[in-house]
Amino acid sequence: MVTLPLRPPRSAGTPDVEPLLTEEHHHSEDHVNEVHFAFLDGAPETPVFRPGPSHPFSRPGPRLGSYRSPAPPPALQHLAGSGAPTSVKNLARILAFLVLLGIIPSTIIFLVDISVHNVVKAREALVNANAPAGYIFYVLSGLVLCVTSTLVCHLWSPEAEGSGIPAMKSLMSGFYDKVKPSLSLWTLLAKAVGLVCAIGGGLPVGWEGPNVHISCIVAHHLSRLPPFRDLRKDRALRMQIMACACAVGLASSFGTPIGGVLYALETTASFYLVPTFWKCVLATLAGSLVYDLLYKTPLVEAFLNTTFVKDDYKKEQLVAFVFLGVLLGILGAFFVRCVHTVYILRKRRLPGTNRYVLLSVVGIIAALVQYPRYLFRLDPRLAINEFFSSDNMETLSHLDVGLLVLIKFPLIVIAIGLPIPAGVFIPCFLLGSGLGRLYGELLRLLFGANIVPGGYAVVGAAAFTAGVTRALSVAVVIFEVTGQLQHMVPTLAAVLASVIVANGINRSLYDTLIIMKEMPYMPHMRRDRSPSQKVHEVMRTDVISLRENTTLGEIRSMLDTYTRFDSFPVVTGAGLLLGAVRRRSLLNLMNSSRPRLPNGEVDTSLSDRGSLGASISVSDEAVQAESEDRHQKRSRVMNGVHEQADLSDSPVLPEEAIEQGRAKEEEESPPEYGRGTETRIEPDLSPLVVTENTTLSQLHFMFVMLMPTHAFVLVGGALQGIVTRGDIVQSGTILRHPGEQPEDDTTVS
Amino acid sequence: MVTLPLRPPRSAGTPDVEPLLTEEHHHSEDHVNEVHFAFLDGAPETPVFRPGPSHPFSRPGPRLGSYRSPAPPPALQHLAGSGAPTSVKNLARILAFLVLLGIIPSTIIFLVDISVHNVVKAREALVNANAPAGYIFYVLSGLVLCVTSTLVCHLWSPEAEGSGIPAMKSLMSGFYDKVKPSLSLWTLLAKAVGLVCAIGGGLPVGWEGPNVHISCIVAHHLSRLPPFRDLRKDRALRMQIMACACAVGLASSFGTPIGGVLYALETTASFYLVPTFWKCVLATLAGSLVYDLLYKTPLVEAFLNTTFVKDDYKKEQLVAFVFLGVLLGILGAFFVRCVHTVYILRKRRLPGTNRYVLLSVVGIIAALVQYPRYLFRLDPRLAINEFFSSDNMETLSHLDVGLLVLIKFPLIVIAIGLPIPAGVFIPCFLLGSGLGRLYGELLRLLFGANIVPGGYAVVGAAAFTAGVTRALSVAVVIFEVTGQLQHMVPTLAAVLASVIVANGINRSLYDTLIIMKEMPYMPHMRRDRSPSQKVHEVMRTDVISLRENTTLGEIRSMLDTYTRFDSFPVVTGAGLLLGAVRRRSLLNLMNSSRPRLPNGEVDTSLSDRGSLGASISVSDEAVQAESEDRHQKRSRVMNGVHEQADLSDSPVLPEEAIEQGRAKEEEESPPEYGRGTETRIEPDLSPLVVTENTTLSQLHFMFVMLMPTHAFVLVGGALQGIVTRGDIVQSGTILRHPGEQPEDDTTVS
């Protein structure tokens, strides 16, 4: 009697299930990250145990020091900075890749920037050519550009909408597969064109997030080219490459090689490995040479170096700088809250609003309010350079600065949530520098001429941006942007005060965007979990697993039923975990056992692979039992396919599915498998295993650091349950309630 | 019949065994790091299995969502930047701690620096007062100071010798316990006094490493004060605090808050968590305010800001800068090799040399060769400031620069390996800036006046130091030291070239020092291991474990025998792993079961702790069996103690030990344990568990990221072996062959 331990995947359509079979998984199998798993989301069921032929733990423990696996050493060493030798060829490949990764996105980013510049110039020319009706032409051209911006996203790639940094943060936290749709070349095109239209159309959005996204798309496609394909195979290296891409995107946005690296790591990663650092610096350096060559031309605007003289401020002013930091930290948190609230209001009050209507209205308003003041409608870098000036402002009055902040603040808040490519750094930089300048001018009015308001503008820009993004490395970015270190201590102090205060109030803007846009998300624990909970409290207990005496036919039907599962755990008859086996290995077994076994040969290609540990025996008896049990199984397969079709909204009709199942059954006739043979499969994956009393905080730490998709829970050696990433770490799908306020759990870590 | 599964610890005296029972372990138990383990280093033995009463895996898996552990959530969230709330009080505590951690070490470092300044001044005064015999007085005073430097280390703390950064690197890679002896206040004193004497005595050693060490000692003792004791309990936070301490030490050495943080993280950690960053910046900022207040006085020398004008170099010169980087990378690697070779020569050729003789000889030579040139014997910062000058050098000729490099290079190489506190950063900085200056002067001779040699000195200082330490953040340090960003791109390019070239040749100096001084060391895999090996090939199979039917008496004797083991694995009768239990829990059981059980009460204090999973039952039968078996056991205990005494060179005589064992047996009389009762212990540790086919590269990654002391290896659910940290990751004890060349495995990760 064969009792089939299979049940249909009731949860196949629910969002909690990880996509388990993708191209990525096949490329990277030598890493602990790559443990995948099959489970069912249903009621617990008592496992059906059958006595296995021999339990491996009854053998005395072997000391097999002489055994050497023939597999090449994985490049995992890059991660931990190990002393393992790296071949010169491999190193050259990595270096070449990183240099290209620096040059290509920087060139694209430069092209985008120069396009923006030309669009703005063309609009100005249009306005000037039609002097009396210039306002109307300005509004109309803005309207057209804004609508075009969302049109390209709509047509080519909805993934191009938004900043890009939240998506890359999601990617860097291990959700490569889920984020992969947004790494297409169409997304790159939509992002670039949409960004040109949005900024050119007068919307106060930044370009650092889209640039990061563009860099990552370039990195993704570059790494698929034949010379670099090997680099992709090492998942750890792939993550480092993505970190480098983020750094290049940021560095090329501002021409800040070091600040770009730090800002990218701080905003997209939750931890970073030291060897990532030199890779990032190499890439950003290559990018900054392009920046140097291309940007330092009169073609486009760039940040000017500041010219503060030494001892521009007295030590006593440090209090004023820190107070500015605290103020802008509160304001930064308020900004984040506004973005969140506006987004929710739009989703609630205007749920069905057409994106084109939205963009038209916002585009017209932006044009109307920004047209009257010349500097408002030009590149924000011009205004920022003026704010940073150590002398009096030339073209802007105090009133202008106040107006700019008042007008831009709500516009930026609205624009960031629109379905267009939209960064946040430069708008925040503009607001912060304006606020800092006002603060500095006020101080000068109060305390006299020894106050240099430009210094407060610099510190304010860093502090407000840090209050919004919660990244301390904004300070480094500003040192590089201004080319001066005179204000190092006040900038650091203000940025630190701002980040601490703002973190006391709510989450960073990027985290808020991740939650708003329901992206999968790693570092935070789910809100319905407590760190002191034990894994047995949250694990799913209904685990689909292979037994050591599972027949080939059962494996086949399991493969057919659970098409989305990339691997299956293997247990003994008593339910003790032996390991996990890849779908591919099972398919290989199926394919290889069929042509050979009619001759009665043992499948040596598989059994030669060092069958040290446990193995699945597909023995005579099992094959016999299978053939006796075929009718019974067929009905089960029918049910299985039926239920799967119901749940996953598959286009396959139940009747067709049954036919398919029947067709497969025909292929599985006993003579093909042969009798008197034994085929062994070694579990070829080493899953992440924990005992049932592990706390969730421990498991959460493991999920963050090792990035597996799931962990097996053992109770006394027996596979008792599974905890997937979604069971513990926060992901957007869990936080789908639009009214939810992220402010209720503050983070000051 | 009771079969005692105990064997004496044959390996108790070998260096591979981790010290498992220390104060640290008791302070931090809520973390995956804190899994400890008991094993024997002997021949494999077939485990003795007895059938357990009930296997937990035969129960249907419970879904215990309603169960909530009453334990407070651990502060592990700091690690992963989680959104878990942190109380305001806790935040205030952390902030106060970090500010103190910035201020106290900076003040100590300032005091050391000013002492050095005064010692040098006093020597100069002595020399000038005895003008004709000045040379002799200079040599004699140098001799006295050098000998004093090693004397204080010898008397107070040998751990004060050397740089300090390798020791902290060891600490940061998880060997807190092994490094703990070097965190005493005596070490601080020896380090500070020894450093003053060494630098004052004319030895060309740096102060950044000793400063890092001093900071870490301050952090260690500060965190033991009552208000901050809670911070210590969270091991993850403790590691972050140590990272902050390293950053403060470096930042205060040069007045570079950002560069200090980056350099510390790059040289002491193998990965870092994003939330570490703000903590480090806060601490270094507090330190840099002290630096600002104290250093910017005419009392001591400091680095001067450079005054390069904009566009000091043309883009074409970038090639020259990169070439300088390559040259200095090769030279940096050569420097590391020299340090290693000199150390080995001294150990081989002069094995018994007295430390005082050594220091006398070196001190006299240093005084003899440095006296003739005024700038050679003064603070290296004076010479560096001159090299960095954008104008012509005032006091130094080209010949002087060449002489300085030629004289200082061998002196530095020798001094770094001496038994004195000795940093490497500033000496390398001096050599690099001298070499860069020479290179720049040569270029000016060749290509004319538009070359500014001072720029090459800046780039050279960064490149050579990076070639020695392999830290890219030297570039950031130099930007902060010079206060200018003009040379950002050439500095980064040269540093990157230098690091890549030097990494192609050998290890960093800090890694080499770790190997030379045989410190425990985490990030690299052991050289006799291959990343593709499986854990079952390296695991130890003779594991001491508790069975579920172990009697109280057996537990007692196990506790007595394995006094160094902080925890024990718990297995079922069939050897299936249930978890691990702390020594302390076992001791609690012993203590609590004795007074209560005569009344026949069940020990509810333990059994109430949510006995969900497996438990050890100490039942009637076991107690009965124990009392029947007492005589037999006594002899085993005697043997156990005997063997332990033999191996661990314990002062306890075998007879005394037997008496002790007998005395303990007396205490274990059956009435004290009571009959008719059952005491349950729940395994309270969640050990790191892997299956036997896990590759070493995976396990290595886990060891680096999670820092456990060991991992259990399961074969089909049964505890089959153990892999300790020492089995996989490199530690100095493994690399004890003095002739070994570290150059044979290059690292370019």
Question: How close, in Å, is residue A214 to chain B by CA atoms?
Answer: 24
CB A716 within 8 A of CB B57: yes
Q: From B684, which residue of chain A is nearest by alpha-carbon distance?
A: A693
Greater model confidence, B660 or B541: B541
Interface test with B, best of A28, A572, A749 (most B CBs within 10 A): A749
Distance from C-alpha of B416 to C-alpha of B412, rounded to nearest angstrom: 6
A491, A506, A521 - which closes a domain: A506
| Domain count of the fold of chain A | 2
Using CA atoms, how far apart are residues B417 and B411, in angstroms rounded to an integer? 10
Per CB-CB distance under 8 Å, the chain A contacts of B54 are none
Distance from CA of A436 to the nearest CA of B (A): 21
Please tell me which residue of chain A has the smallest CA distance to B693: A686
Say how many CB pairs under 8 Å bridge A and B.
436
B627 with B551, same domain: the answer is: yes
The answer to whether residue A65 sits within a structural domain is: no
Does A684 lie at the interface with B, CB-CB under 8 angstroms? yes
Comparing C-alpha atoms, which of B519, B436, B525, B505 is closest to residue B177? B519
pLDDT at residue B310, rounded to an integer: 66
CA–CA distances in Å: residue B232 to residues A702, B28, B241 = 21, 8, 9
pLDDT at B301: 66
Top mean-pLDDT range of B457-466, B523-532, B599-608: B457-466
Checking if the pLDDT of B263 tops 60, the result is yes
Q: Are residues A366 and A442 in the same domain?
A: yes
pLDDT of residue A537: 84
**Residue B715 and residue A523: Cβ atoms within 8 Å?**
no
Q: Domain for residue A526, yes or no? A: no
Do residues A339 and A486 share a domain? yes
How crowded is the C-beta side of B557, counted as CA atoms within 13 Å? 29
CA distance A288 to A253: 10
Is the same domain home to B617 and B711? yes
Is residue B670 domain-resident?
yes
- For residue B473, being part of any structural domain is answered with yes
Which of A479 and B686 is assigned the larger pLDDT? Answer: A479
Of A471, A487, A506, the position where a domain reaches its end is A506
Which residue matches tokens 């911070």? Answer: B231
Interface of A with B in 265-284 (CB under 8 A): 265-266, 269-275, 277-278, 281-282
DSSP, res A47: -
Which amino acid type is present at position A700?
Answer: H
A437 touches chain B (CB under 8 A): no
Span A410-428, pLDDT tens digits: 999 999 888 999 999 999 9
Q: Examine residue A681 and state whether it is found in any structural domain, yes or no.
A: no
Q: What percent of chain B has pLDDT over 90?
A: 22
Q: ipTM for the complex?
A: 0.71
pLDDT for res B16? 34
With beta carbons under 8 A apart, name residues in chain B contacting A265. 274
Q: Tell me: do B548 and B479 sit in the same domain.
A: no
**Residue in the block written with tokens 């420097």:** B335
Q: Is residue A303 part of a domain?
A: no
Q: Which of B34, B69, B82, B696 to mutate to test the interface with A (most CBs of A within 10 A)?
A: B82
Give the CATH number for residue B562.
3.10.580.10
Domain shared by A268 and A408, yes or no: no
Torsion of CA B143, B145, B146, B148, to 10 degrees: 120
Q: Which of chain B's residues have a Cβ under 8 Å away from the Cβ of A496?
A: 278, 281-282, 285
Chain A residues touching residue B57 (CB < 8 angstroms):
574-576, 715-718, 720
Predicted pLDDT of residue A372: 80
Please state which of the ranges A586-600, B40-54, B393-407 shows the lowest mean pLDDT.
Answer: B40-54
Residue of B530, B575, B702 lying closest to A32 (CB–CB): B702
Nearest to A423 by CA among A478, A387, A469, A363: A469
Closest CB to A698 among B499, B524, B686: B686
Q: Which residue has the higher pLDDT, B163 or B520?
A: B163
Low-confidence stretches of chain A (pLDDT < 50) are 1-85, 595-678, 732-749
* Contact check, Cβ <8 Å, A288/B700: no
Domain boundary among A458, A486, A506: A506
**Do B591 and B609 fall into the same domain?**
yes
Q: What is the pLDDT of residue A30?
A: 33
- Nearest by CB to residue A64, choosing from B493, B536, B691, is B536
Q: How far is CA B689 from the centre of its chain?
A: 25
Percent of residues in chain A assigned helix, strand, coil, to nearest 5: 60, 10, 30
Please tell me if residue B51 touches chain A, with a CB cutoff of 8 Å: no
Same domain, B35 and B97: no
- Token digits for B158? 């040998």
User: Mean pLDDT throughout B327-338?
Assistant: 95
Higher pLDDT, B693 or A489: A489
Orientation angle between helical segments A208-222 and A425-447, nearest 10 degrees: 150
Q: What 3-state DSSP class applies to A716? A: coil
The 10 Å Cβ neighbour count of residue B397 is 9
Q: Are strands A710-715 and A689-691 parallel, antiparallel or unpaired?
A: parallel
Q: Does residue B714 form part of some domain?
A: yes
**Across residues B29-55, what is the average pLDDT?**
30
Q: Between chains, do A530 and B77 touch, taking CB under 8 Å as contact? A: no
Which chain A residues are Cβ-neighbours of B78 within 8 angstroms? 749
Mutate to test the interface with A, among B274, B482, B505 (most CBs of A within 10 A): B274
What are the backbone dihedrals phi and psi of residue B156, each rounded to the nearest 5 degrees, phi first? Answer: -95, -45
The verdict on A99 touching B (C-beta cutoff 8 Å) is no
Output the furthest CA–CA distance in chain A (Å, rounded): 99
- Residue A649: how many other CB atoms lie within 10 Å: 8
pLDDT, average across residues B109-125: 90
Most confident range (mean pLDDT) of A97-106, A517-526, B1-10, B651-660 is A97-106
Contact A579 B745 (CB under 8 A): no
Q: What distance in Å separates residue B573's CA from the closest CA in chain A?
A: 10
Kindly state the percentage of chain B with pLDDT values over 70.
71
Instruction: List B729's β-bridge partners, or say none.
Output: B525
B746 is a domain residue: no
- Mean pLDDT taken over chain B: 72
Q: Are B325 and B459 in contact (CB under 8 A)?
A: yes
Q: Which of A:699-728 have CB within 8 Å of B?
A: 700-702, 704-706, 714-718, 720-721
Report helix, strand or coil for A293: helix
Write b or e for each residue in B595-620: b if 16 or more Cβ atoms lie within 10 A of its Cβ, otherwise e: ebbeeeebbeebeebeebbbbbbbbe
Residues 298-317 of A with CB under 8 A from B: 305, 310, 315
- Domain span holding position A425: 317-506
- Based on the fold, state whether residues B591 and B502 are members of the same structural domain: no
Q: Cβ contacts (< 8 Å) between A91 and chain B: which residues?
A: 504, 748
List all residues 6 or more positions away from A731 whose beta carbon is below 8 Å from its beta carbon. A175, A519, A520, A521, A522, A725
Report the DSSP pairing between strands A710-715 and A729-731: unpaired
Which CATH number do you get for residue A262?
Answer: 1.10.3080.10
B543: β partners = B39
Pick from A169, A274, A284, A696 the residue to mutate for testing the B interface (most B CBs within 10 Å): A274
Residues A163 and A263 reside in one and the same domain? yes
Q: What pLDDT does A191 receive?
A: 93
Q: Do A202 and A321 fall within a single domain?
A: no
Q: What is the pLDDT of residues B342-374, one digit of tens each?
A: 988 888 887 777 888 889 999 999 988 888 777
Q: Give pLDDT tens digits for A638-680.
A: 333 232 222 222 222 233 333 443 344 334 333 333 333 445 5
A273: enclosing H helix or E strand = strand A271-273
Question: Do residues A238 and A348 both lie within one domain?
Answer: no
Å from A217 to nearest chain B CA? 24
* 8 Å CB contact between B748 and A86: yes
Q: Within the 555-614 window of chain B, which residues sit less than 8 Å (CB to CB) from chain A? A: 572, 574-579, 612-614
CA atoms of A566 and A22, how far apart (whole Å): 8
